[in-house]
């Protein structure tokens, strides 16, 4: 068996797809810590205050076996209020939360229609689901409607679930949320919106691109806590009946040790912090605008208009070489290759965070243009 593993790893290496763990180095153009909260004094102080008032570090069990604490419940109440939903349920991470949603809520005889670029965690949940699953072209609302109509013509009568990201993690573009919501209402469909990369960055007080849909009976949203919120975990916002169903049926909730109460307390502080610090979000958008101008001026292309900017180079080995060259120049930017992105679209995934300023962004883009020319020579 070991020889098989060695051969598989060698094949990945030859294709430029071998993954390794790398230390942090250089200026941060790779993380999802968009508001620079992960190492902030505000969250550090929040942790200290929570410890001083006796908040435990570990939960000691699953939420159903004494692992449920007042910190979990307080966070869920605050999150539901902050995002405008009926209820919230806290998970240890976005992967577990998405797995729970898609493996648990859609039933046999239902149909899940999902954008082809949706998160891998949604795919994992759908793999475990009893519902039928169909992929549609990226951001193509008409394709979704065509699939629904064909499914109904074939005699299917189950519930329809439409699954999208509000801001796509590898392309940085937005879903047509309002068009999707209008169509979903027409077909009595449920909409599952993964707000992972919009939370804390877009919408009023960082409540996401679909904030105006929160609380509707046919909307479920996922807000991760380990990106702009700077902590870890994930919150599923949903009607009470669906929350209760997840508590009773979602295996990644029932059989997992509850998230740390200390983490739950820190996420509460993070939500409060972004609500009372609009200048952080405003500053991030200033940097996004600056990056867009610099990309156009120095590289001649239009940016994604979000904090996620893909620089698509195509070849896996070229993407790795470009990332390595940029790291050597002091910029931490990572190569992303298939199967994370479609074949032939290997890229550098550049993120804008409050860890950098205009000067560093300008320097990175100038170095990127120079390095691409060097590698092409």
| Strand (E) or helix (H) holding 76 | helix 70-83
Contact status, residue 276 vs residue 61, Cβ threshold 8 Å:
no
CA 191 to each of CA 217, 224, 270: distance values in angstroms, whole numbers, following the listed order: 10, 17, 27
Q: In sequence order, what DSSP letters do the residues of 225-288 get, joined into one string?
A: SSSTTSS--EEEEE-HHHHHHHHHH-HHHHTSBPPPHHHHHHHHHHHHHHHT-HHHHHHHHHHH
Spatial separation of the C-alpha atoms in residues 209 and 84, rounded to whole Å? 13
Angle between helices 94-104 and 240-249 (to 10 degrees): 100
Q: Give the residue numbers marked as catalytic.
A: 32, 119, 165, 169, 194, 197, 227
Q: Kindly state the tokens that stand for 115.
A: 């954008």
Q: Which of 351, 366, 354 is nearest to 309 (CA)?
A: 351
How many Cα atoms are found within 13 Å in the side-chain-facing hemisphere of 12? 13
Q: Which of 197, 204, 233 is nearest to 351 (CA)?
A: 197
Residue 115: is the preceding peptide bond cis (ω within 30°)? no
């Amino acid at each position: 068996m070991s020889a098989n593993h060695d051969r598989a790893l060698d094949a990945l290496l030859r294709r430029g797809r071998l993954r390794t763990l790398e230390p942090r180095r250089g200026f941060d153009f790779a993380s999802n810590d968009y508001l620079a909260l992960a190492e902030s004094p505000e969250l550090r102080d929040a942790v200290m205050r929570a410890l001083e008032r006796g908040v435990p570090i570990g939960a000691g069990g699953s939420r159903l076996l004494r692992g449920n604490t007042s910190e979990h419940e307080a966070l869920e109440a605050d999150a539901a209020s902050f995002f405008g939903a009926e209820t919230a349920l806290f998970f240890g991470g976005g992967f577990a939360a998405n797995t729970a949603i898609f493996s648990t809520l859609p039933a046999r005889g239902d149909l899940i229609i999902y954008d082809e670029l949706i998160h891998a965690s949604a795919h994992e949940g759908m793999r475990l689901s009893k519902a039928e699953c169909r992929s549609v072209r990226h951001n193509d609302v008409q394709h979704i409607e065509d699939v629904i109509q064909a499914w109904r013509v074939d005699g299917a009568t189950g519930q329809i679930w439409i699954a999208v990201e509000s801001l796509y993690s590898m392309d940085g573009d937005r879903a047509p949320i309002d068009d999707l919501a209008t169509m979903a209402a027409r077909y009595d469909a449920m909409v599952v919106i993964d707000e992972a990369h919009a939370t804390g960055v877009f919408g009023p007080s960082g409540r996401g691109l679909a904030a105006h849909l929160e609380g509707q009976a046919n909307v479920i949203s996922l807000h991760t806590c380990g990106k702009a919120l700077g902590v870890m975990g994930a919150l599923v916002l949903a009607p009470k009946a669906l929350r209760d169903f997840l508590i009773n049926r979602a295996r990644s909730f029932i059989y997992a040790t509850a998230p740390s109460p200390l983490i739950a307390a820190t996420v509460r502080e993070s939500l409060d912090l972004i609500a009372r610090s609009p200048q952080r979000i405003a500053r991030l958008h200033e940097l996004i605008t600056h990056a867009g101008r610099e990309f156009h001026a120095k590289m001649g292309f239009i940016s994604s208009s979000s904090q996620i900017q893909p620089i698509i180079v195509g070849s896996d080995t070229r993407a790795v070489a470009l990332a390595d060259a940029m790291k050597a120049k002091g910029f931490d930017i990572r190569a992303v290759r298939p199967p994370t992105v479609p074949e032939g679209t290997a890229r550098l995934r550049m993120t804008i965070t409050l860890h950098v300023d205009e000067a560093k962004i300008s320097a990175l883009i100038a170095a990127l243009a120079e390095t691409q020319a060097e590698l092409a020579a």
